[in-house]
Amino acid sequence: MEVITRVADLRNRLDKESSVGFVPTMGALHNGHKALIDRARAENRVVVVSIFVNPTQFLEGEDFSKYPRTFDKDREVCRLSGVDYIFLPDVDEVYFSDELSILAPKERGFTLEGFHRIGHFNGMLQIVLKLLNIVQPQNAYFGKKDAQQLALIQQMVKELFLRVNIVPVDIIRDRDGLALSSRNRYLSHSERDRALAIPKSLEIGSKLIMSGERSTSVIINRMLNALQELDIDYVEIVRRDFQNIESVEIGNSIILVAVRVGNTRLIDNMFV
Ligand code: AMP
Q: Sign of the C-alpha dihedral, residues 205, 206, 212, 216?
A: positive
CA of 170 to the centre of ligand 1 (A): 10
Question: Could you report the per-residue pLDDT of 149-196, keeping only the tens digit for each?
Answer: 999 999 999 999 999 999 999 999 999 999 999 999 999 999 999 999
In this prediction, residue 124 carries a pLDDT of: 98
Give the residue from 195, 174, 172, 204 showing the smallest Cα distance to 260: 195
Q: Whose CA is nearest to atom 22 of ligand 1?
A: 143
Give the residue from 143, 115, 116 showing the smallest Cα distance to 128: 143
Of ligand 1's atoms, which has the minimum distance to the CA of residue 149? 12
Ligand 1 neighbours by CB, cut-off 6 Å: 25-26, 32-33, 35-36, 142-143, 145-146, 169, 171-172, 179-182
In this prediction, residue 36 carries a pLDDT of: 98
In this prediction, residue 128 carries a pLDDT of: 99
Of 26, 29, 33, best ligand 1 pocket probe by most atoms within 8 Å of the beta carbon: 33
Phi, psi of 193 (to 5 degrees): -60, -45
Question: Could you report the per-residue pLDDT of 21-66, keeping only the tens digit for each?
Answer: 999 999 999 999 999 999 999 999 999 999 999 999 999 999 999 9
Q: What is the pTM of this model?
A: 0.98
- In order of start, what are the domains of the chain with their CATH numbers? 2-169 (3.40.50.620), 182-271 (3.30.1300.10)
Cβ neighbours of residue 267 under 8 Å, at least 6 residues apart? 113, 145, 146, 256, 257, 258
Of ligand 1's atoms, which has the minimum distance to the CA of residue 179? 19
In this prediction, residue 92 carries a pLDDT of: 98
Pairwise CA distance, residues 209 & 216, whole Å: 9
CA of 226 to the centre of ligand 1 (A): 25
Question: Could you report the per-residue pLDDT of 215-244, keeping only the tens digit for each?
Answer: 999 999 999 999 999 999 999 999 999 999
Residue 234: strand pairing partners: 258
Q: Whose CA is nearest to atom 13 of ligand 1?
A: 143
In this prediction, residue 168 carries a pLDDT of: 98
In this prediction, residue 118 carries a pLDDT of: 97
Residue 140 binned pLDDT confidence (cut-offs 50, 70, 90): very high
In this prediction, residue 90 carries a pLDDT of: 98
Residue 270: strand pairing partners: 255
Give me the active site residues, please.
33
In this prediction, residue 166 carries a pLDDT of: 98
Pairwise CA distance, residues 226 & 113, whole Å: 21
What mean pLDDT do residues 237-252 have?
97
Encode 50-60: b = buried (16+ Cβ within 10 Å), e = exposed.
Answer: bbbbbebbbee
Give the CA dihedral 237, 226, 32, 72, nearest 10 degrees.
Answer: 130
In this prediction, residue 211 carries a pLDDT of: 98
In this prediction, residue 120 carries a pLDDT of: 98
Query: CA distances (Å), 107 to each of 16, 94, 263, in order?
Result: 39, 28, 28
Question: Could you report the per-residue pLDDT of 105-129, keeping only the tens digit for each?
Answer: 999 999 999 999 999 999 999 999 9
Residue 144 binned pLDDT confidence (cut-offs 50, 70, 90): very high
Give the residue from 204, 178, 211 showing the smallest Cα distance to 192: 178
CA of 175 to the centre of ligand 1 (A): 17
